[in-house]
Structure 1
Amino acid sequence: MTNTYWRPSSLLGNRNGPAADPAYAVLVLNQPINENAFKSTVEGASMLVCADAGADRLRNLRTDQNWRRPDAIVGDLDSVTPETITYYRGKGVTIVKEPDQYSTDFTKALRWIEQEWIQRTEHLDIPPLDVVVLGGLGGRVDQGFSQIHHLYLAHNDTSLLSGRIYLLSEQSLTFVLGEGPNTIDIEPGYFAENVGIIPILGRCHLTTRGLEWDVENWPTDFGGQMSTSNHIRASTIEISFTGPRPLFTLELTALLTATGS
């Protein structure tokens, strides 16, 4: 199987890797914004999009005129304040109202990002766009599970996503592992030692290298064994598994964990 290589520090300002890092968009949900991590990740973003009242979060984060404006605000627009819509419309920001009640603002924004990227790169040999979602798992439990649900949903729907998707929350960067072997490059200064491998979709068997408590063909599921609060012990982590794709989460370094609005 093809090895899936991850270089997560490239999403946090480290764009000088050994190979060209994929382009990515930043999607702001209506969740508290990790201001330090946001500042690091938005600098290299090819696109900045707000899902509905995520625009209020962004506007409240910084008010000076030099702060980056979103490319678009997308959703049914039932949560964002009229003042914010008026403010950003006056700045030339695209406002996209999608009233479809069978999809969420999250999926509406993902679909807009995917379609916009296809239009921008038509006839160009440019890889698919990754998406970094600013969300949070420390508030309402149902909203937290919804965000994890959307990570998996996006992987199963090419109209929403053709690249990779990450959840950047108050203290962590989280993503769904690729099928087959995974190699995760851990560069100093971006991540603390704690990681977790969570079998969201059901029982799987893990093999790891580079962690304090490595395992070999180790069964993991909810209600059984689970690899949480494991520790990074190498510059490269290798993970393979059989069974459903698990979720992988990295703790951000203290310099990136302060939250804003």
Structure 2
Amino acid sequence: MNDPIVVSQEPVLLVGGAHGDNAQLLSLLDEVTTVVAADSGADWVRAVGRLPNALIGDFDSVSDETRAALPPETVHRIEEQDSTDFDKAIRSISAPMIIGIGFLGGQVDHLLAAMTVLARYPDRAIVLLGEHDVVAHLPPQIGLPLELGTRVSLYPMRPVTGISTGLHWPIDGLELSPGDRVGTSNRADGPVSLTLHGPGMLIILPVSERHGLQQALAQADGLWPAL
């Protein structure tokens, strides 16, 4: 990871440019003390009457008006074009957890790029929220306090095996991979536990499960090594 631009001992909110539900953003802004905007995510934060603590990106989409509204010391331009603004921000933040909003809506190519970045940082606890879903990269082991019938989708970004309890369709003995078998639209028969044999597995849950997922990630016994 680069020398971090933003350092926090608490979860950091990272706001992207795929603007969504203002009420959802305002609720998150009230939960955290440190807010980072990835490029035009700063426009969304400003549109709801707030300003981020830091702006990170290549600045190809953030408005001049928003940049001018921010103190110069909070504006951090990373000009290289080999990575997304989401990636630039992730590698510039040191925090126990990053909660991201504004990355799952908008263009499909941007969404796919965000999923790729999640898989690139298996050593980080990152939770992405949309209006309907919450997505995270799974650690080696996790327990989720889900209720009967909760939608659970597992999406591998590379070949992954593992074992499960509490899933209606267990993953034991299966190899999941993006080019073959995936685990979408499974469901919980009650609390779910997952043990993965390698990194690369994303979990997608209803956004109502966000707090439970965050708590489970915080309590997980270690993450994967950095790639």
TM-score by length of 2: 0.76
Tell me the equivalent position of 1:155.
122
Q: Pick from 19, 23, 45: which aligns with 2:10?
A: 23
Unaligned runs of 5+ in 1: 1-21, 115-127, 157-162, 257-261
Residue 226 to residue 37, structure 1, CA distance change in 2 (3 Å) = same
Q: Determine if the alignment matches structure 1 residue 233 to structure 2 residue 193.
A: no
Q: Pick from 200, 203, 225: which aligns with 2:157?
A: 200
Q: Pick from 47, 52, 55: which aligns with 2:34?
A: 47
Residues in 2 aligned to 1:138 and 1:80: alpha-carbon distance in whole angstroms: 17
CA contact (8 A) 2:12 2:36 kept: yes
Superposition RMSD in Å: 2.8
The alpha carbon displacement at 1:141 in A equals 2.4
Task: Give a deviation string over 1:51-94, Cα, whole Å, max 9, x none.
Answer: 1111112222x13xxxx4310111222211111112233xx871
Residue 215 to residue 113, structure 1, CA distance change in 2 (3 Å) = closer
Residues in 1 aligned to 2:181 and 2:78: alpha-carbon distance in whole angstroms: 42
Tell me the equivalent position of 2:55.
73
Matched pairs, number: 201
Give the percent of matched residue pairs that are identical in Structure 1 and Structure 2. 27
Residue 74 to residue 225, structure 1, CA distance change in 2 (3 Å) = closer
Residues in 2 aligned to 1:175 and 1:133: alpha-carbon distance in whole angstroms: 10
Trace 1:209-220 onto structure 2 (pairs within 5 A).
209-220=165-176
The alpha carbon displacement at 1:244 in A equals 4.4
Unaligned runs of 5+ in 2: 1-8, 212-227
Task: Give a deviation string over 1:158-189, Cα, whole Å, max 9, x none.
Answer: xxxxx41111122111111112x321234x7x
Tell me the equivalent position of 1:146.
113
Q: Determine if the alignment matches structure 1 residue 168 to structure 2 residue 135.
A: no
* TM superposition outliers: structure 1 runs of 4+ over 4 Å: none
Trace 1:236-251 onto structure 2 (pairs within 5 A).
236-251=191-206
Higher gyration radius (CA): 1
Greater relative contact order: 1 or 2 (C-alpha under 8 angstroms, separation 6 or more)? 1
